[in-house]
């Protein structure tokens, strides 16, 4: 199960995700991030993964699609505050630099 909480910190819309992001929750995560991208008037959005315990390929897909949606909306998007285990996954699949960069590439 995954949950989310959205809040504003300075000039950043932060979507704090928690729990497991896997095939049973990835669509929800993608929807939550898409809603935040559409709803925010800010030009920066962070997906805070500090409370995410597990991330599989479905979760990676949700984060990638969210990054693409943000780029299209001209919103800088980055994943932040992740555990060493999730960092290892991001680096292993070659997505670390892309998903942790704040630039709307």
d(CA 11, CA 44): 7
CA angle 70, 62, 82 (to 5 degrees): 90
Looking at the domain assignment, is residue 6 inside a domain? Answer: yes
CATH of the domain at 94: 3.30.750.24
Residue 103: inside a domain: no
Could you give the C-alpha distances from 94 to 13, 41, 84, 88, in angstroms and in order?
25, 31, 15, 10
Number of domains in the chain: 1
At 92-103, the pLDDT tens digits run 999 999 999 876
CB within 8 A of 39, min separation 6: which ones? none
Could you tell me the pTM of the whole model? Answer: 0.92
Q: What is the pLDDT of residues 41-78, one digit of tens each?
A: 889 999 999 999 999 999 999 999 999 999 999 999 99
């Amino acid at each position: 199960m995954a949950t989310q909480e959205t809040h504003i910190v300075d000039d950043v819309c932060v979507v704090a995700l928690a729990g497991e992001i896997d095939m049973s929750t990835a669509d929800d995560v993608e929807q939550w991030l898409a809603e935040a991208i559409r709803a925010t008037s800010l030009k920066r959005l962070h997906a805070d993964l500090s409370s995410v315990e597990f991330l599989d390929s479905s979760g990676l897909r949700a984060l990638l699609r969210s990054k693409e949606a943000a780029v299209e909306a001209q919103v800088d998007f980055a994943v932040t505050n992740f555990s060493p285990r999730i960092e290892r996954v991001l680096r292993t699949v070659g997505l670390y630099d892309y998903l942790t960069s704040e630039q709307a590439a």
